[in-house]
Amino acid sequence: MYYYYPRYYHYDFRQVPLAWTPTSVALNQQLRALWEQHVYWTRLAVNSIVGRQPDEKETIARLLRNPDDFAAALKPLYGPAAANKFAELFGEHLTIAAELVKALQAGNTSAAADAKQRWYANADDIAEFLGTINPYWSKEEWRKMLYEHLELLSSEVSSRLAGKYAENIAIGDQIQLQALEMADMMTSGIVQQFPMAFTH
């Protein structure tokens, strides 16, 4: 067993030392994989939409599997109702993102503005929900993290549409690191809430 002090440079996260066990490490690896898949398939979906690639339908379908994969990970701890609610909210996050990309690509500023407003409202709903089901998850902290996630994704889309590929790749690196921070915060809250599930 060893101790890990998470570092969150952008957020007022309550830094609680976690005693890592094989089960908590496995949880962290699972959540990191899910968050990385989330941003990886989001990037590929954006590229497919912007480039009008023939794999757009299949890529978006794979992206939309991500909320269900999160639900499967959360269900043993929070039950089917809460897990499915998270999947619903996270699915909305993705479908609104696709709307936004297509509106920006078409130059439809009013549709893009409407999608972006709903996108941030959805982030508020996700933060509120997570803060409700786990006392170690702050809705304010989650809102900050999700807003930064949306800002980075918006920059990634804009740079792709503008053909600024080096900038686009650099933003993608930032998105991956920020996603891992969200995975670590999610892990920390779960382990603190259910300590007896992660003793071995």
Per-residue pLDDT tens for 19-56?
788 999 999 999 999 999 999 999 999 999 999 999 99
pLDDT for 16 equals 59
CA angle (55 as vertex; 52, 60 as ends), nearest 5: 95
Per residue in 50-88, pLDDT (tens digit) is 999 999 999 999 999 999 999 999 999 999 999 999 999
4 bridge partner residues: 18
Contact 98, 45 (CB under 8 A): yes
Q: Which amino acid is at 61?
A: A
Tell me the C-alpha distance between 101 and 79, whole Å: 34
Domain that holds residue 177: 2-198
What pTM was estimated for this model as a whole? Answer: 0.89
Contact 19, 1 (CB under 8 A): yes
Which class for 32: exposed (0-12), middle (13-18), buried (19 or more C-beta within 10 A)? middle
20 bridge partner residues: 2
Structure tokens at 59: 């890529």
Q: What percent of the chain has pLDDT over 70?
A: 91
Res 8 pLDDT > 50 = no
Is 18 in a helix, a strand, or coil? strand
Instruction: Report how many domains make up the chain.
Output: 1
